[in-house]
């Protein structure tokens, strides 16, 4: 083998290793609710898209499915114990393994989605316990109680974040007077750094890793602040005061073109923050009281933010550049939203599942159905994978054909 061929083989092998270790992300492959699937149906039959299969033994939970390693992973609660379930792509249970006691007070059930990086899986309980498992077998590798070890304090409806990972660092928000946010070595659970963010509690938020020239940022909501930290060192770079009535800051910020859109419910709305070139400061560009979504997220598609409100009981489009509201669409309940192939996919808290054009001119519904399988609240975020729409409703996962 000549040297050029040898170097090519080594490069491909290293690339394959790095790709295999790339972590799954909350809200799709880019962490922003946008999926890469193409060739999707542009209309649905009157009864809705075809259901390929369903599985209804998940236990209680509000988290989303995660597709990795040719498997579908979910979390759920049976009695007071949290479990990770691994399903085949055909809907057969491969294994289920307990990870920790779960939150059983108001709205009992699992909150966080599993995160898979190569052969490891990470799950957070609503009571603050991090569990690392083998992603093939579910065998527990290590655990860390973030409340006991880092002085964290729980929040009213249980901590809910799905972990963000950067390299060997797994980020967690115990919330508390000293170690508000921490980075753990994802192989061992050892503490790498901790940061104090105004002594805030957790804000229910899954953080966002933002890579800019010369720095990687960790951006998250705590109970009352939007915070930017240096992901490598944990240094707190900036905060922006963003409180709401119940300190629920569940939406992951949206990053685009050097700016962040951060938003929450109970009438608070959103703010677009422009990052400085080095990421060490922000300044507000505009504020929107319209987009006061509580837990359903939003998507940015071709320069417009789409989603629904909370106290503002309608769906809307917001101009990314100016914050101008382009339309108000009523008649559907508020809910979660994702996007793919120029389309919006919404799942309302009344169980309405719909597809619409991502068009700032108005909400043109192309298909609609009712999610009748499953239990409890319709709060889980949708997932698209290989022409399938995955919908979690309590104890059930329903998989629709949308291509």
Of 58, 127, 44, 27, which is closest to residue 366 (Cα–Cα)?
Answer: 44
* pLDDT at 195 (0 to 100): 98
33-59+293-403 adopts what CATH topology? Methylamine Dehydrogenase; Chain H (2.130.10)
d(CA 301, CA 306): 8
Give backbone dihedrals phi and psi of 17, rounded to 5 degrees, phi first. -65, -45
Helix intervals (H) in 71-176: 146-150
User: How many whole angstroms separate alpha carbon 254 and alpha carbon 85?
Assistant: 29
What whole-number distance in Å separates Cα of residue 172 and Cα of residue 167? 14
**Residue 94: its pLDDT value, please?**
98
Distance CA 31, CA 162 (A): 11
Please tell me the predicted confidence (pLDDT) of residue 9: 41
Q: Residue 398 and residue 403: Cα distance in Å, rounded?
A: 16
d(CA 59, CA 221) in angstroms, rounded, equals: 29
Distance, in Å, from the CA atom of 267 to the CA atom of 226, rounded to the nearest integer, reads 17
Q: Give residue 20's pLDDT.
A: 52
Instruction: Provide the whole-model pTM.
Output: 0.94
Q: Considering only CA atoms, which of 101, 26, 22 is closest in space to residue 63?
A: 26
Backbone φ, ψ for residue 242 (5° rounding): -150, 70
Q: How far is CA 176 from each of CA 100, 156, 162, 180, 196, rounded to the nearest angstrom?
A: 21, 14, 18, 5, 8
pLDDT of residue 184: 98
- Write the CA distances from 292 to 3, 248, 285, 310, integer angstroms: 58, 11, 17, 6
- pLDDT for 176 equals 84
Token duo for residue 220 = 């998250």
Residue 112 backbone phi and psi in degrees, to 5: -95, 145
**What was the pLDDT predicted at 2?**
53
In whole angstroms, give the CA distance from residue 11 to residue 8.
Answer: 5
Q: pLDDT tens per residue, the chain (403 residues)?
A: 554 444 444 444 444 444 457 999 999 999 999 999 999 999 999 999 999 999 999 999 999 999 999 999 999 999 999 999 999 999 999 999 999 999 999 999 999 999 999 999 999 999 999 999 999 999 999 999 999 999 999 999 999 999 999 999 999 999 989 999 999 999 999 999 999 999 999 999 999 999 999 999 999 999 999 999 999 999 999 999 999 999 999 999 999 999 999 999 999 999 999 999 999 999 999 999 999 999 999 999 999 999 999 999 999 999 999 999 999 999 999 999 999 999 999 999 999 999 999 999 999 999 999 999 999 999 999 999 999 999 999 999 999 999 9
State how beta strands 335-340 and 34-35 pair.
parallel
**Beta partners for residue 172, in sequence order:** 182
């Amino acid at each position: 083998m000549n040297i050029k061929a040898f170097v090519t083989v080594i490069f491909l092998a290293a690339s394959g290793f790095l790709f295999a270790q790339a972590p799954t992300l909350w809200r799709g492959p880019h962490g922003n609710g946008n999926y890469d699937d193409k060739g999707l149906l542009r209309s649905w039959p009157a009864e809705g898209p075809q259901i390929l299969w369903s599985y209804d033994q998940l236990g209680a939970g509000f988290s989303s499915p995660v597709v990795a390693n040719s498997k579908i992973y979910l979390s759920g609660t049976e009695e007071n114990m949290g479990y990770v379930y691994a399903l085949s792509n055909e809907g057969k249970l491969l294994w289920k393994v307990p990870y920790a006691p779960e939150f059983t007070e108001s709205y009992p059930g699992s909150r966080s989605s599993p995160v898979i990086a190569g052969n490891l899986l990470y799950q957070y309980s609503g009571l603050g316990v991090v569990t690392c498992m083998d992603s093939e077998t579910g065998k527990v590798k290590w655990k860390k109680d973030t409340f006991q070890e880092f002085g964290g304090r729980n929040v009213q409806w249980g901590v809910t974040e799905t972990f963000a990972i950067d390299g060997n660092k797994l980020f967690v928000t115990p919330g508390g007077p000293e170690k508000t946010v921490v980075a753990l070595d994802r192989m061992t659970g050892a503490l790498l750094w901790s940061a104090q963010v105004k002594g805030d509690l957790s804000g229910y938020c899954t953080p966002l890793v933002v890579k800019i020239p010369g720095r990687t940022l960790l951006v998250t909501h705590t109970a009352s602040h939007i915070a930017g930290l240096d992901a490598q060192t944990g240094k707190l770079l900036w905060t922006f005061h963003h409180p709401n009535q119940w300190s629920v800051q569940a939406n992951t910020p949206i990053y685009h073109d050097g700016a962040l859109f951060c938003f929450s419910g109970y009438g608070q709305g959103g703010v677009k923050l422009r990052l400085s070139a080095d990421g060490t400061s922000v300044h507000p560009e505009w504020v929107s009281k319209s987009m006061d979504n509580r837990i359903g997220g939003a998507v940015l598609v071709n320069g417009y933010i789409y989603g629904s409100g909370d106290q503002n009981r309608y769906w809307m489009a917001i101009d990314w550049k100016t914050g101008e509201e382009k339309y108000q669409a009523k008649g559907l309940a508020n809910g979660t939203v994702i996007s793919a192939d120029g389309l919006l996919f919404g799942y309302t808290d009344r169980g309405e599942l719909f597809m619409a054009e991502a068009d700032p001119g108005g909400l043109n519904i192309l298909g609609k159905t009712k999610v009748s399988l499953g239990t409890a609240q319709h709060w889980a975020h949708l997932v698209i994978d290989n022409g399938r729409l995955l919908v979690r409703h309590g104890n059930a996962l329903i998989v629709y054909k949308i291509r």
